[in-house]
């Protein structure tokens, strides 16, 4: 799979490039800022973009915003957004806003695909997701997106010694 990687930390960028390559990805470009990410996608037309949330120049959400813009411009482009910071509030805002055809849309698309494959309704899939979230002891709240918290729970449980992310 042709991949463009965007990470501002040189050592981490090199490590991610090595890891992706080891698992069969072809890293077409590894860049250090959001502008270079957009240019690399235009040049290489990858299947996948892996980007950090916080990128130069502002180190806020430039990588994420660039990823959403790229996804809007290239609907078939797969995007994985990484962050060394646990930021469920940012992810929740993006999920709730829909961000055009961004992150929230992708989750809705995934639910529809699951429902179609299993020959059940979107509502039934939603009920099963709700049951899983309840078993993870993640009740509905106004301030935290439960799916984001479920991913964080999984990452914590799957980490060495259960120490988490």
Write out pLDDT tens, residues 67-89. Answer: 889 988 998 898 888 876 555 65
Here the tokens at position 77 are 């482009």
Q: What is the pTM of this model?
A: 0.57
Q: List, by residue range, all CATH 3.40.50.2300 domains of the chain.
A: 1-85
Angle at 85 between CA 92 and CA 61, to 5 degrees: 65
Contact 143, 94 (CB under 8 A): no
For the segment 16-56, what is each residue's pLDDT rounded down to a tens digit?
999 899 889 999 999 999 999 999 999 999 999 999 888 88
Rounded to whole angstroms, what are the CA distances from 74 to 49, 69, 71, 81, 96? Answer: 11, 9, 5, 16, 22
Q: How far apart are CA 165 and CA 162, in angstroms?
A: 9
Helix (H) or strand (E) holding 72, with range, is helix 62-73
Residue pair 49/78 in contact (Cβ under 8 Å)? The answer is yes
Instruction: Using pLDDT thresholds of 50, 70 and 90, give the confidence band for residue 9.
Output: very high
1-85: what fold? Rossmann fold (3.40.50)
């Amino acid at each position: 799979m042709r991949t463009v990687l965007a990470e501002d930390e040189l050592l981490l960028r090199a490590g991610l490039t090595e890891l992706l390559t080891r698992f069969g990805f072809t890293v077409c470009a590894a860049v250090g800022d959001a502008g270079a990410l957009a240019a690399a996608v235009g040049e290489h037309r990858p299947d996948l973009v892996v980007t950090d949330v916080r990128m130069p120049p502002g180190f806020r959400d430039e990588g994420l915003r660039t990823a959403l813009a790229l996804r809007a411009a290239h609907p078939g482009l797969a995007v994985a957004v990484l962050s060394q910071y646990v930021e469920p509030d940012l992810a929740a805002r993006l999920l709730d806003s829909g961000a055009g055809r961004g992150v929230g849309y992708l989750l809705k698309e995934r639910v529809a695909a699951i429902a179609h494959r299993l020959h059940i309704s979107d509502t039934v899939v939603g009920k099963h997701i709700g049951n899983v979230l309840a078993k993870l002891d993640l009740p509905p709240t106004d301030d935290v997106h439960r799916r984001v918290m479920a991913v964080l729970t999984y990452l914590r449980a799957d980490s060495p010694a259960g120490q988490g992310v």
